[in-house]
Amino acid sequence: MTRGVGPVANDEPAMDVSPTAIRPRKRLGTKGVLNPQYPTSYWQIAFSRDLEPESVIPLRVLERDVVLWRDSQGVAHCTAAHCAHLGANLGYGGEVVGDTIRCPFHAWRYDAEGNVAHVPGVAGTPKVRQCLPTYLVIERYGAIFLWNGPGVPDHELPDFLADEGIAEADIVFEHVRYKLPFAAKWFVENLPDAAHFAGLHRLGSWGDTEIISESDTRLEYVARFYGRAPYVSWEDLKRSYRRGEMWGVSDAAGGDFHATTYGGGLHLIHLTASPPELIESRAKVTAPVPRAMIALTEKVNDMSDGARLILSFTPVDVDSHIVYLTMIVPKINNPVLRLIGRPVVRSLLVRRNWFAIMQDNSLMMFRQEPEHPAYNRFDRGLVRFRKFWDSRLIDRSLWAGDNVHSAGARAGCTWPDDPTTAAVSGGSTEGEA
């Protein structure tokens, strides 16, 4: 099991490339499905800054090896990693030559459609039938997203700024990623599980999730929290600090949060402001703290309250994944404050999210979910999300579910084309506690 756990902050600026550039393709030799055991969806696979002009990088995505490369026009491309000739990995020693990717082994070159464009010693276009599978990628928000699905996507990569009337000149993107040593599906299922946020992250005494809308391609919901205890003493603050709550999700999302899942692999989270009573109780307890520290803390809270988070929990292998987080925050207009404050704010944002993730880490690694979970009414959001995830899978042989790729019978999924449905799908999945 991979155990490389750690936060990585994007301290350097994003590359100046067209955020929506995408080159039309014939898409020869591939159906565009990287791994049918994961939902048909957009998945983030890198930040724009990872891919320099005319460079090649290897990636492990959805349990498959791929390479990203950027041509001379700044357009990103993604292909299967291994050369169709003798299987060399193009990500290790491969080069971009004349807007093609060159294999380091025998110098075969492939174009953006995956066709063999050049073989040394062969004049003209080589008559080679082999080609590399290629995958649709789109660049936006300083990030690179891959489409895992056949043919034309059944939904567009959401343009969150345009949808909400936000001018890009008024905001900045803060990028963070964390590699975690457990299955991606286990972690992403936490988003619609409000009871988990209340129990583990102390957002309230209890929580519930309300499904707002649902379609074939998106699931929209609100996580609500009740009975949040105020800060009444320094002991409360010290206890929160030890648990990571002060710099974790509970302090940033003191109120409810609104979320939309697109396809299963991409999520938009809208944090709401902390409840007034929580802000007031915190202010009373922190009154003796130096004014500069209070001002800095409030600045971070101001940037978090009402902020939008773009999340993708992208599998690496069965037992590991990378959480890509892009926070859309207001721009600091004062140049002096921007120069001094932005690195500090970025560092605090990295750490506060890391605290929250660490609360989940050991729990996720050592959990053993029973074959028939004892669901109760507060699991409605979780069950609905599991059914949505499974509805986006191409590989229906996963119906029984190992809870790494599919919830299957655990969520009461009924796929009419599965011959075992009648035998194993009986019983309620959303019974009252």
Report yes or no on 234 lying in a domain. yes
Distance between CA atoms of residues 231 and 240, nearest Å: 9
Decide the pairing of beta strands 116-118 and 134-135: unpaired
Cβ atoms of 232 and 285 within 8 Å: the answer is yes
Q: Assess whether 279 and 141 both reside in one domain.
A: no
Report yes or no on 432 lying in a domain. no
Going edge to edge, which strands form the sheet with 137-140? 41-47, 143-148, 137-140
Report yes or no on 314 lying in a domain. yes
313: left (phi over 0), alpha (psi -120 to 50) or beta: beta
Distance between CA atoms of residues 26 and 168, nearest Å: 32
Cβ atoms of 332 and 338 within 8 Å: the answer is yes
Q: Assess whether 172 and 138 both reside in one domain.
A: no
Q: Show Cβ contacts of residue 419 under 8 Å, excluding neighbours closer than 6 positions.
A: none
pTM: 0.81
Q: Assess whether 183 and 98 both reside in one domain.
A: no
Decide the pairing of beta strands 76-80 and 95-97: unpaired
Q: Assess whether 142 and 166 both reside in one domain.
A: no
Q: Looking at residue 313, which CATH number applies to its domain? A: 3.90.380.10
**Sequential pLDDT tens for the chain (433 residues):** 333 344 444 433 333 333 333 333 333 334 589 999 999 999 999 999 999 999 999 999 999 999 999 999 999 999 999 999 999 999 999 999 999 999 999 999 999 999 999 999 998 888 877 789 999 999 999 999 999 999 899 999 999 888 878 888 888 888 999 999 999 999 999 999 999 988 888 788 889 999 999 999 999 999 998 886 555 455 655 666 555 554 444 443 456 889 999 999 999 998 765 555 544 545 454 455 445 544 545 555 554 445 688 999 999 999 999 999 998 877 777 677 667 766 766 776 777 778 788 889 989 999 999 888 999 999 999 999 999 999 999 887 776 678 899 988 888 877 656 545 444 333 333 433 3
As a three-state string, the secondary structure of 351-386 is: HHHHHHHHHHHHHHHHCCCCCCCCCCHHHHHHHHHH
Distance between CA atoms of residues 175 and 167, nearest Å: 19
Q: Assess whether 97 and 172 both reside in one domain.
A: no
Domain that holds residue 248: 160-368+376-391
pLDDT for res 201: 81
Distance between CA atoms of residues 342 and 408, nearest Å: 45
* 199 closest CA partner among 403, 388, 363: 363
Count of structural domains, the chain: 2
* 53 closest CA partner among 77, 68, 78, 72: 72
- What count of Cα atoms within 13 Å lies in the side-chain half-sphere of residue 301? 20
Q: Assess whether 221 and 120 both reside in one domain.
A: no
Report yes or no on 422 lying in a domain. no
Cβ atoms of 81 and 58 within 8 Å: the answer is yes
Report yes or no on 328 lying in a domain. yes
